[in-house]
Amino acid sequence: MTSWLVRVFVPNADDVGDPAVRTRYGLVASVTCIVCNVALCLGKGAVGLLAGSVSIVADALNNLSDASSNVVSLLGFKLASRPADDEHPYGHGRYEYLAGLVVAVLVCAIGINLLGSSVEKIAHPEPTEFGPAVVVVLVASMAVKLWMSTFNRRLGRAISSETLEATAVDSRNDVISTAAVLASAVISQLTGFDLDGWAGLAVGAFICWSGVELVREAVSPLLGRVPDPAYVERIRARIMSYPGVLGTHDLMVHDYGPGRQFASAHVEMAAEGDPLAQHDLLDNIEQDFKVEEGLVMTLHYDPIVTNDPEVRDMRHWIDLAVKGIDERLSIHDLRCVPGPTHTNVIFDCVRPADCALAPGELRERIGALVRERYPRAICKITIDDSYVSSRQ
C-alpha cells in the first residue's frame, strides 16, 4: 500500500527536467506533508495532555514544527520557480537550497527545545498515564511518518530536491523519536520507573545530531560544492566522443539551483585543422548539451600541435613526470618557443586544492624535473586550480 501511494506521486524521469513539472511536484509534496503533520499534532497533542506525558506533547510540537518546515519548503519551491530577471540572470533556483537550510535549522531548534523539556521532566518528575489511546496514537503516528519519509525521499531523489530529502530525514527521525516515546511508556508502565524524561533526552540528542548533518548538507551547495564525480565523468566522456577532440580540461560546473547548471571547459583539437570547421564542431557540442542535458555549456578551443614528434614526446614525458610528484597532477596547453640559447616550454598544470605543495613550490619542482631531462628548457608554468574532484 505504501509503495503504491509513493508511486502515484513520483514523476516520470522524462518529466523532471521541466521546471514547471518539478515545481508542481514540490508543491504537492509540501501540501501533503502540511496536512499530515497538522493532523498528527492535533492527535498527539490531545493524548499527551490527557496523559501528562512531556515526551508525547514534545512529539506533537515536533509535528507542528514540521508543518512550519513544510510551509518553508512550499515557499522555497514557489520562489525558486520564478523566472530569471535583470538582477538575477541565472534564475532563482537557489531559493530551494535556502529553504532546505531553514528546514535544517528548524530541526536543530526542535532538538534543543526537546532537550530542555526533557531535563525539566527529569529534574521534576510527574506521573505519566498509560493507556490504549497512547499506544494507538503513537503507532498511527509512526506509520504515517514512515510513509512520509519514503514519499519525500523518493520524490526528492526523482526531482533532485535537497529540501525534500531533508524533509525525508526529518520524518525518519520522527519515526525513531516516536518509537522511543512508545518504548519508554511501555517500560515505565511495566517497571514503575518513569523513563519519559530520559527518552525525551535521548530523542532530543538524536534530533540535534541529525539537524547538524542537515545544516552541513544544506550549506554545501550554497558555498559551491564539487560536482558529482559521475556527472563530471559523463560530461568529459560526451565531449571526448566527438571526432577531432583530442582532450578536455579546465572543466567548471556552476550550480544555480536544481535544473540550472552552467559549465565551461577547454577542448584540445589539432592546430593543423580548419579553425572554422573546429569552431562549428564546438558549437554543435554546446547545442547538444543544451538540448539533451539541459546544461548551458561554453567551450574554449585549445590548438595542439600534432605534427611535431619532439613536442609530442616532451608533452607525454612531462605529463608522466608530474604524476611522480602527485598522481593527481596533469598538464595541458604545452607549446615550445625555440631560441638560439634556450627553448621556452610553456604549459599549465592542474593542482588539486589539497596538494601538499604550494603553487610556487610546485612550479619550482616541476621546472627542476624538466631541466634535468631538457637542459635547454626554461619552463613557463601556470598553476591552475581544480574545480572538480581532486580524484579526477
SS3 of 66-113: HHHHHHHHHHHHHHHCCCCCCCCCCCCCHHHHHHHHHHHHHHHHHHHH
Distance of alpha carbon 377 from alpha carbon 336, whole angstroms: 9
Name the region of 109 (left: φ>0; alpha: ψ -120 to 50; beta: rest).
alpha
Spans of the chain below 50 pLDDT: 1-8, 13, 390-392
Residue whose C-alpha is closest to residue 182's, from 200, 164, 155? 200
C-alpha separations of 182 from 12, 22, 48, 118, 196 in Å: 38, 37, 12, 15, 9
In this prediction, residue 130 carries a pLDDT of: 64
Q: Could you give the CA distance from residue 223 to residue 26 in angstroms, rounded to a whole number? A: 23
What DSSP character marks residue 53?
A: -
**Scanning the structure block, which residue is given the C-alpha cell 540535534?**
208
DSSP letter (8 states) at residue 304: E
Q: Do 253 and 387 touch, CB atoms closer than 8 A? A: yes
- Picking from 55, 57, 58, 65, the residue whose alpha carbon sits closest to that of residue 33 is 65
pLDDT at residue 137, rounded to an integer: 81
Output the pLDDT for position 383: 92
Q: In the block, which residue shows the cell 570547421?
A: 277
Q: Give the model confidence (pLDDT) of 165-199 as tens digits.
A: 878 888 888 888 778 777 877 877 777 777 777 87
pLDDT at 3: 45
Tell which residue, 349, 189, 325, has the closest CA to residue 199: 189
Q: For residue 384, give the C-alpha cell.
A: 591552475
What H or E segment, with its residue span, contains residue 289? helix 275-293
Count of CA atoms in the C-beta half-sphere (13 A) of 35: 6
Instruction: Read off the C-alpha cell for 349.
Output: 598544470
Q: Provide the strand spans (E) within the chain.
A: 245-255, 261-270, 296-304, 330-338, 343-351, 377-385
How confident is the model at residue 286, as a pLDDT?
95
Across 108-122, b (16+ Cβ under 10 Å) vs e yields bebbebbbebbeebb
Beta bridge partners of 344: 337, 378
Count other Cβ atoms within 10 Å, centred on residue 229: 12
The number of beta carbons lying within 10 Å of the beta carbon of residue 20 is: 8
C-alpha closest to that of 347 among 376, 374, 389, 378: 378
Residue 308 three-state SS: coil
Task: Read off the C-alpha cell for 342.
Answer: 634556450
Assess contact for 373 and 317: CB atoms under 8 A. yes
Coil, helix or strand at residue 260: coil
- Report which of 241, 231, 215, 213 is spatially closest to residue 389, judged by C-alpha positions: 231
